[in-house]
Each structure stands twice: as structure tokens, then as C-alpha cells.
A = this chain, B = another copy of it.
Amino acid sequence: MIHTSTEHEVLAVVFQVRHFGASQVPELAVLLWQRGLEPHRGAWALPGGRVRTDEDLPSSIRRQLAEKVDVRELAHLEQLAVFSEPNRVPGPRTIASTFLGLVPFPATPELPADTQWHRVSNLPAMAFDHHVMVAHAHTRLAAKMSYTNIGFALAPQQFTLSTLRDIYYATLGYPVDATNLQRVLVRRGVLTPTGTTARSGRSGGRPGALYRFTDDRYRVTDEFAALRPPG
């Protein structure tokens, strides 16, 4: 197919840690909408769409996400990769810029009828190259969980360490020791104790201390694993 012009679209991989069914442990979820028209009718797609000529990409994706979720819920938004294969979608040649968006636990935004949260570990049939984008976003998120404070965008304002441990588990895919998590994050200045305590759960147990993220903006907290500057 020969293209004569190029369109530009933005797509967002919006993640939230959510409870599914009666399961005790929450899982990582991604926001998808189901296509009602061909091509790929019935397949699930990432929210987003055409970029207008008078808006930059972050504005564009925020505008388009506003139709899906309350944008105030979006605690973090960052650029991912660009997908530019000339025939990645049928029709006019379209370059896609992808974004990673994060919604805090445990908000439950209103969703349009065609839109749903899906387990990242159990994705439905997806439209076009969107599954690659989800995988890419997940990889990026998991990496950043260990050397940035990006968790602030997935956690509530205040939380116990068990809650935070669940969030790390959901994003990383492997269990994390709550004790060590606390020590690592407090030492780095990522976590601050609020001084208050939560109430005990339904089945008793000692109430947990409440923490909050020190910053509510993205920050790299562990830049140099090796080859640090001298001093």
C-alpha cells in the first residue's frame, strides 16, 4: 500500500492496581475499550486517537482520556515509544506516540459502556499492535518501580505497608518483603511516616502505621547502581 500523507495519533496505556473478583491480592489492570466497528470489531484497544494540529501530545492524550476516566485521577503521565511502521494500521499511514498513565489505588472511576479494566496478566484479543504497547509499558513501569518514586501514582494518599507491598507485588510480579520495602524506601526519603495508624482489618491483627509518599511528583531516587560519582 502506498501512502500519500501521514496521520499522528496518541495512545495511552493506563494502569491501575485493582481487585478482581473475590481475590485477596490486587492485580495490575489496564484500561481498554472495545471496538464497535471494523477493522478489528470486538477487539480491545487503547484509549486515544488523532492529534489535533493545535495541541501538543500530552494535552492531546489528556483530552482524549477525559472521555474515558476522570482526568483528576491521573496521577502520572509520561511518554513511551513511538510506533511508526508504515502499515501498522489499515487506512492512512499513522504514527502512534504512546504514553504511560497511572491511576491510584483504589479509586473506581466511572467508565463508559464500552470501556473496562482488564488484568494485564490475562489480556483479551487486542486491536492492531496495541498488545505490544501494553507489554512495553508494563516493562517500563516495573523497571521504574525499583529506582524511582513512581509508586506514588499508584498508591492512595495514605497507606499501610501491606497495601504498598500489594502494589509492588502487582506491578513487579514477584513478592516483596514489606519490612525491607519500608527500610529501603524510608532510607531513600521516598516514604514518610504520617504518625497515624490505620484501623485493624476485619479479622483483627495489629493496626498498621500509615505512610505517605514524600513527593507527589515523579523523581529518580536511585540513579547510580554502580559507577557513582566520587565523594
Contacts and interface: CB of A to CB of B under 8 A. Distances in A.
Count of identical protomers in the assembly: 2
Interface of A: 2-6, 8, 51, 53-58, 79, 81-82, 84-86, 93, 95, 97, 143, 145-147, 168, 172, 174-176, 181, 184, 222-230
Contacts of A6: 8, 51, 53
Contacts of A184: 226-227
A2 B168 CA distance: 45
A209 B229 CA distance: 25
Contacts of A57: 82, 84, 95
Given A168-B227, A226-B222, A227-B145, A8 B8 contact: yes
27 contacts: A2-B53, A6-B8, A6-B51, A8-B8, A8-B95, A53-B86, A53-B93, A55-B86, A56-B84, A56-B85, A57-B95, A79-B82, A84-B97, A143-B223, A146-B223, A146-B224, A146-B227, A146-B228, A147-B226, A168-B227, A172-B229, A174-B229, A175-B230, A176-B227, A181-B227, A184-B226, A184-B227
